[in-house]
Amino acid sequence: MSTHYKYIFSTIILSLACSVLRAQTEEEDKLNGGTITVVKAYDPSVADAFKVKSVPQLNDTTKLKKKAVTYSIFSVPVASTFTPAKGKLSRLKPRQRPEYFDNYARLGLGNYGNILAEFAGNLEIDKNSDFGIFLNHNSSFGGLDEVVVDDSFLDTALDLSYGHRSRYASYSMTAGARYQGANLYGIYEPLRLQLVGTDPDDTDVGVNYLSYGVGGNLDIFDSIFKDVRAKFTGITSNREGQELRAQVGTNLGFTIEEATIDLGVSIDYLNGSFEQQGRLPAQSEYAYASAGLSPTLKLYGDNYKIKLGATINYLNDVENSDSQFNIYPNIVATYKLLDDQVVAFTTIYGGLDLNSLQQFADDNVFLAPAINILPTDRVIDAQLGIKGKLSNTLGYKVYGGYKKENDRSFFIKDTGRLLAAQAPADVLGNVFFTSYGDLSTVSYGASLGFDISDMFNLALNAQGYSYDVSNGDGFLNTASQLPEFTADLVGTYQITDKIDVGATLYFVGEREVFRSGAGIESLDSFMDLNLDVNYRINPRLTAFLRGNNLTGGNYEYFLDYPVQDLQIMGGVVYKFDFQ
């Protein structure tokens, strides 16, 4: 079945890539008129101070635009239509301007006891200053049929921000916190069978993480010093794990004739510890200090753009009294072969990725009490391809790539303890550990974009991967949890000025997962369809209905962890101003 899906997606992409598409562009929002532009979809974050990962609601058509600071929801304008009476002049009706609001609140309820609550607000303190708040809550009572323990979860985040702009500079400050509560219900099958018929409340498999962060940015106008940024983050778990991280950086830049020279400086310090150990031994303490220097030269011509740069990095492993220097490439180049229709591009990157407990918990909350935390040496990460547009509505991108990573992290599992009765929460073969090896990845992909009008757009992306793992004898050199093929199709359609529909379709190919004590296991591919319908009752109130995982069933993204099947959620969005 997975091969069949793969061929379907590959055929679609190759067929469309040979016909038409357009290059998609992104435009950065900037501070205008002394106010702060906030663009917020359904993914909570604490700006630069603390970025949290939640399950994205890609069908969410709530859009936040700016009056001073305005959250604009379902605000696509619709042109007036008219039919002239015979023998009479008919005057065109002016198109009604959409009404924007600064704030919104959302509440949704669904099966499995799923609850979604959001609040986004902005207060204009004066013409140059704004205060923003974003609250997100996503929870479920659970209730998967084959699960023998509690499978409920809770994810709540609060973000606060303050921004000010003057003639010479602008600055922002951010603060936030996130609480993740989950249950380790993905029990190894032989142990799960031992628990069939028992009271789920008798086996406590709860785990939680509390993350927090503060930070700030200073952007300086008309100066060699372009910006200064700093942030401090931390995370703790209910199993006596904790981590602190401090990051500081600045960018300098100036122009000589037609060339631009930039210099980035960064310092990163990470420290953490684990008081409890899981069944597979891991570090009890870790600390890393990293410093980087990144000079770049930018050149521009009529048909080309080139950025030539490098990153010089120093890493100190504080706990093991070990240090090293590395130099990584930082090159980006584009060349117009045929105006905007065919543009060749290449990117050649590298760098040191300072892995953290925060990152792993964001990616996978089902972690062991202690995991190994090592930096990843990304020796090279290169892409080569072509992109272009054949019209204002159709664009394409086709590429191939190669990546080489040393000490790359992989999620692996174990078989748990022989007897499940009265076992601790994390010894039921239900947690993930981190293991490290060297990974070489050959990739290929294509992106197709259809932006027919403000009423309809469609995007298709697909990627294929080939992995080669070495120095991973402890997990049989398995590219554990990594798919060989992924694809997604995302579209929105504004049916009328009151009704719009969004759809996303995801495909993830087969994956291999290593289980210590059992060997290599396979995860089936899956396809996940999501639909989102919104009805605009009036300019302030909108009702929505969502259907998630309409085709995927109880597939497993992580080994032994089935997801919720067909999910239906309904709710309302209310927009308002404080004044």
More confident: 33 or 488: 488
Give the mean pLDDT of the chain: 85
Residue 89 lies in a domain: no
pLDDT in tens, 250-280: 999 988 877 899 999 999 999 999 999 999 9
Number of domains comprising the chain: 1
431 within domain boundaries: yes
Q: What is the CATH number of the domain that holds 246?
A: 2.40.170.20
Write the pLDDT tens digit of every residue in 303-350: 999 999 999 999 999 999 999 999 999 999 999 999 999 999 999 999
Give mean pLDDT, residues 371-398.
96
Strands in 58-113 per DSSP E: 103-110
Mark out the alpha helices in 400-471 (DSSP H runs).
Answer: none
Beta-carbon count within 10 A of 162 CB: 17
* CA atoms of 63 and 493, how far apart (whole Å): 15
pLDDT-derived band at 505, boundaries 50, 70, 90: very high
- Give the structural domain span for 498: 2-77+97-576
Residues 6+ positions from 127 with CB-CB distance below 8 Å: 33, 34, 35
**Does some domain include residue 82?**
no
To which residue do tokens 């290593």 refer? 514
Nearest to 409, CA basis, from 484, 355, 471: 355
Q: Check whether 63 has a pLDDT greater than 80.
A: no
pLDDT band with cut points at 50, 70 and 90 for residue 420:
low
Higher pLDDT residue, 418 or 377? 377
Above 80 in pLDDT, residue 408?
yes
Instruction: Identify whether 334 is part of a domain.
Output: yes
**The most confident of 85-89, 207-211, 222-226, 419-423, by mean pLDDT:** 207-211
Q: Is 454 left (phi over 0), alpha (psi -120 to 50) or beta?
A: alpha
What φ, ψ does residue 374 adopt, rounded to 5°? -130, 150
Q: In this predicted model, what pLDDT tens digit does every residue of 277-304 receive, in sequence order?
A: 999 999 999 999 999 999 999 999 999 9
Quote the percentage of the chain above a pLDDT of 70.
82
Is-contact 355 409, C-beta < 8 A?
A: yes
Q: Is residue 105 part of a domain?
A: yes
With respect to residue 90, please indicate whether it lies within any of the assigned structural domains.
Answer: no
Q: Output the pLDDT for position 413.
A: 97
- Say yes or no to pLDDT of 578 above 70: yes
Please name which of 318, 320, 235, 316 lies closest in space to residue 274, comparing C-alpha atoms: 235
pLDDT of residue 55: 35
The region of weakest confidence among 8-17, 201-210, 343-352, 504-513 is: 8-17
Binned at pLDDT 50, 70 and 90, residue 421 comes out as low
Q: 32: pLDDT confidence band, cut at 50, 70 and 90?
A: very low
Q: Residue 9: inside a domain, yes or no?
A: yes
- The label of the residue with tokens 């993740």 reads 180
Buried-exposed string 181-211: b where 16+ CB fall within 10 A, e elsewhere:
bbbbbbbbeebbebbeeeebeebebebbbeb
Closest to 542 (Cα-Cα) out of 69, 107, 38: 107
Q: Is residue 107 part of a domain?
A: yes
